[in-house]
Chains A and B, each alone.
Chain A
Amino acid sequence: NAGVTQTPKFQVLKTGQSMTLQCAQDMNHEYMSWYRQDPGMGLRLIHYSVGAGITDQGEVPNGYNVSRSTTEDFPLRLLSAAPSQTSVYFCASSYRDYADTQYFGPGTRLTVL
């Protein structure tokens, strides 16, 4: 049981490039979320999914896309990277909803030059 896995661990992009951050969980959880963590701001929700085929926007969705074709995978796409997207990105999953324990991945540290 690997829990929540994220790849890559580190990434450097140039402004305007696109990329996909991968997230997978093997716990058969329904809820999956993407957060970004910036110094002094805690975690902010980017997008979330309550099940395969269902996604919705969080607090800071602009510049990001998601899809959920399977229960296990929830990739986050940066369409055209900007320096303001330099951050640490965490994927999390929980069994049914946010009242359940959220399990976090180890994070992806992204730098946009």
Chain B
Amino acid sequence: AQSVTQLDSQVPVFEEAPVELRCNYSSSVSVYLFWYVQYPNQGLQLLLKYLSGSTLVKGINGFEAEFNKSQTSFHLRKPSVHISDTAEYFCAVLPYGDSSYKLIFGSGTRLLVRP
């Protein structure tokens, strides 16, 4: 069975500081990887995804993530956060190569940016 772990339920950070949101996964088959963001009282929207190619993926709003196959991680980073980045961030994996071809979401990390 596949699973996604987001170890940090909440990450407080000051404005203009760098941030890293951690995501680790477990899977017996290869996976595609995603980060989604949910702003307050809204649905989720895609930040970035890794399907193949370069392991460093750039997304919207200055976010990037790096796929590390040996450590089964896909951490999300931003060098300088803004107040408007306050939101909940979800890592998700999509296992492929077997019948369980459905998105599996982590429990989410709430990023709280303080002035």
Q: Which A residues have a C-beta under 8 Å from some C-beta of B?
A: 4, 33, 35, 40-45, 48, 58-59, 90, 92, 97-99, 101-107
Interchain Cβ contacts under 8 Å between A and B, 25 examples: A4-B43, A35-B105, A40-B108, A42-B4, A42-B90, A42-B105, A42-B106, A42-B107, A42-B108, A45-B102, A45-B103, A90-B43, A92-B43, A92-B44, A98-B94, A98-B102, A98-B103, A99-B32, A99-B51, A101-B46, A102-B46, A104-B44, A105-B43, A107-B42, A107-B43
Query: Residue on B with the closest CB to A35?
Result: B105
Q: How many residues of B contact A (CB 8 A)?
A: 22
Q: Which residues of chain A are near B94, meaning CB under 8 Å?
A: 98-99
Q: B101 contacts the other chain (Cβ, under 8 Å)?
A: yes
Cross-chain contact of B49 among A48, A101, A103 (Cβ < 8 A)? A101
**B4: shortest Cβ distance to chain A, in Å?**
8
**A90: shortest Cβ distance to chain B, in Å?**
6
Q: Which residues of chain B are near A106, meaning CB under 8 Å?
A: 41-43
Q: B9 contacts the other chain (Cβ, under 8 Å)?
A: yes
Query: Residue on A with the closest CB to B46?
Result: A101
Contact yes or no, A40 B9, CB < 8 A: yes
Tell me the complex Cα distance, A40–B5, Å: 11
**A107: shortest Cβ distance to chain B, in Å?**
6
Q: Which residues of chain A are near B68, meaning CB under 8 Å?
A: none
Q: Which residues of chain A are near B9, meaning CB under 8 Å?
A: 40
Q: B45 contacts the other chain (Cβ, under 8 Å)?
A: yes
Q: Which residues of chain B are near A105, meaning CB under 8 Å?
A: 43
